[in-house]
Amino acid sequence: RQRVAHPARKYAGLDVGCNAGDLTYILRDFLKEAMSQDQPEISLIGVDLDPILIEKARERNPSPDCVTFECLDFLSEDCSEVLRRYLTQLNKTRFDVVFCFSITMWIHLNHGDDGLEEFLRKVCELAEMIVVEPQPWRCYKNASRRLRRAKLGDFPLLKELKYTRNPMKHIEDILRRLCDFQRVTVTAGNEWGRMLLIYERKQES
Ligand SMILES: C[S@@+](CC[C@H](N)C(=O)[O-])C[C@H]1O[C@@H](n2cnc3c(N)ncnc32)[C@H](O)[C@@H]1O
């Protein structure tokens, strides 16, 4: 598909909920390989709210010149500010791609249906294209069970959720209805039954 995705031969990616960076490094190598003909300058930023994980990601970073990590809550205003500045430095207004691997459930459980909508709106505002790997409903149940078994109560918002049973369907609906993004493809389930939703911004006519 032809897109004006990397003017000035710069390609920028964001990895939301990057954990200790292991997947971020792999994504960087994947992008480099996938765009080896074009050879754009690839820059990736990973954000996670856990300072220990970010410290680890920074320590082991094999490409500190083009991959950076920031400890931020993606839903915070601070995060928006840091990402705006990051894009400005690259002379860009949006990321070419935003990755959200295995994070939607945590946003949903901790911030409810409204939080999930806000999260996806924010991701889409920042992106030309998004890759989302939603956790299925059984993972929500397992997460809740683990918390209860550890005598830590339950996720207070779990009972109030309306987007239940099939999170992927609800996420696709939010992406189309609220974010005005369109489906590129949905991959077949991997060995854990997870699928990747790949969506993109509609081209302005
Ligand atoms: C299950 S891990 C996924 C890690 C990695 N993306 C992967 O797929 O291997 C989810 C990560 O999201 C992070 N996270 C959860 N809520 C977040 C938020 N509001 N802002 C930034 N990171 C968040 C957690 O700290 C955790 O490291």
Q: Is the pLDDT of residue 156 over 70?
A: yes
Mean of pLDDT values over 55-63: 97
Q: Which two tokens stand for residue 23?
A: 């997947």
Pocket test for ligand 1, best of 28, 50, 103 (most atoms within 8 A of CB): 103
Residue 193: band (very low, low, confident or very high) from pLDDT cuts 50, 70, 90 = confident
| Average of per-residue pLDDT values in the chain | 94
Residue 49 is given by DSSP the state: S
Q: What pLDDT is attached to residue 192?
A: 73
Amino acid at 141: K
Tell me phi and psi for residue 48, to 5 degrees: -150, 150
The CB density around residue 191, as the number of other CB atoms within 10 Å, is 5
Residues in contact with 84: Cβ distance below 8 Å, sequence separation at least 6, in sequence order: none
Class of the domain covering 8-99? alpha beta
Index of the ligand 1 atom closest to the CA of residue 15: 6
pLDDT 10s digits, 7-27: 568 999 999 999 999 999 999
pLDDT 10s digits, 167-179: 999 999 999 999 9
Q: What pLDDT is attached to residue 127?
A: 98
Q: Which two tokens stand for residue 78?
A: 């601070």
Q: Is the pLDDT of residue 3 over 60?
A: no
Index of the ligand 1 atom closest to the CA of residue 19: 27
Q: What pLDDT is attached to residue 94?
A: 97
Q: What pLDDT is attached to residue 202?
A: 95
Comparing C-alpha atoms, which of 94, 92, 81 is closest to residue 130?
94
Q: Is the pLDDT of residue 4 over 70?
A: no
- What's the fold here for domain 102-205? Rossmann fold (3.40.50)
CATH 3.40.50.150 residue ranges in the chain? 8-99, 102-205
How close is the Cα of 49 to the center of ligand 1, in Å?
7
Given the cut 0.95, state whether the ipTM is greater than it.
yes
Comparing C-alpha atoms, which of 172, 16, 186 is closest to residue 106?
16
Residue 190: band (very low, low, confident or very high) from pLDDT cuts 50, 70, 90 = confident
Comparing C-alpha atoms, which of 49, 63, 165, 151 is closest to residue 107?
49
pLDDT 10s digits, 68-123: 999 999 999 999 999 999 999 999 999 999 999 999 999 999 999 999 999 999 99
Nearest CA to ligand 1 atom 7: 101
Comparing C-alpha atoms, which of 112, 82, 102 is closest to residue 23?
102
How close is the Cα of 109 to the center of ligand 1, in Å?
13
Assess contact for 150 and 104: CB atoms under 8 A. Answer: no
Q: Which two tokens stand for residue 202?
A: 């509609």
